[in-house]
């Protein structure tokens, strides 16, 4: 069986960082992902995909990626359900992100916001290894990542772009 997701899109708002009672970080966010085709009016439509990321990667995402940030994520699709306050069963499908990468520098992001456009090249920050937190979930580490093994040309990075 294969359950693997790779997405590139923009955050629709800042990630919401919370902590479980056992002090495990979890962030939820929505990624706007353009569809590969244009509609009848010649415009690209987007899908708004709900995502969740756990532990250190959640904290990194909340600290470094902001509304409008272009990011790439890898992970899997998960479904869950719960009973709401009205007693109705609610089903949720979301992407459980295991890794993310910022795809543009802060300078490029700020320029795009000021000019109203974005350059799809940029920064190179990847979070640490991350597995979703679910006591009933198998937590064997996944092998490989879409972003692993990619070579990049050396970049000129300003001190403002460093995460430390």
Query: In the prediction, which pLDDT does 138 show?
Result: 36
> Backbone phi, then psi, for 160, in 5-degree steps?
-65, -20
Cβ atoms of residues 8 and 72 within 8 Å: yes
Provide the residue-wise pLDDT of the chain in tens; the chain has 164 residues: 899 999 999 999 999 999 999 999 999 999 999 998 888 898 889 999 999 999 999 999 999 999 999 999 999 999 999 999 999 999 999 999 999 999 987 666 665 554 444 443 333 334 444 444 343 333 333 444 444 444 444 555 566 655 54
**Domains of the chain in sequence order:** 5-161 (2.40.50.140)
Q: What is the CA radius of gyration of the chain?
A: 17
Tokens 């879409």 belong to 146
- Residue 113 C-beta-side C-alpha neighbours within 13 Å: 13
Cβ atoms of residues 50 and 30 within 8 Å: yes
């Amino acid at each position: 069986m294969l359950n693997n997701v790779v997405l590139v899109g923009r955050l629709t708002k800042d990630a919401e960082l919370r902590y479980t009672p056992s002090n495990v970080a979890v962030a939820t966010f929505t990624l706007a992902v353009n569809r590969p085709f244009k509609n009848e009016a010649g415009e690209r439509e987007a899908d708004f995909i709900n995502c969740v990321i756990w532990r250190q990667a959640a904290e990194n995402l909340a600290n470094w990626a902001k509304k409008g940030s272009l990011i790439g994520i890898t992970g899997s699709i998960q479904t869950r359900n719960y009973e709401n306050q009205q007693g109705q069963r609610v089903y949720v499908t979301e992407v459980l992100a295991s890794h993310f990468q910022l795809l543009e520098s802060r300078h490029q992001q700020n320029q795009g916001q000021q000019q109203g456009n974005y350059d799809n090249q940029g920064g190179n920050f990847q979070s640490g290894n991350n597995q979703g937190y679910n006591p009933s979930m198998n937590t064997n580490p996944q092998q490989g990542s879409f972003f692993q093994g990619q070579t990049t040309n050396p970049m000129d990075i300003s001190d403002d772009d460093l995460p430390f």
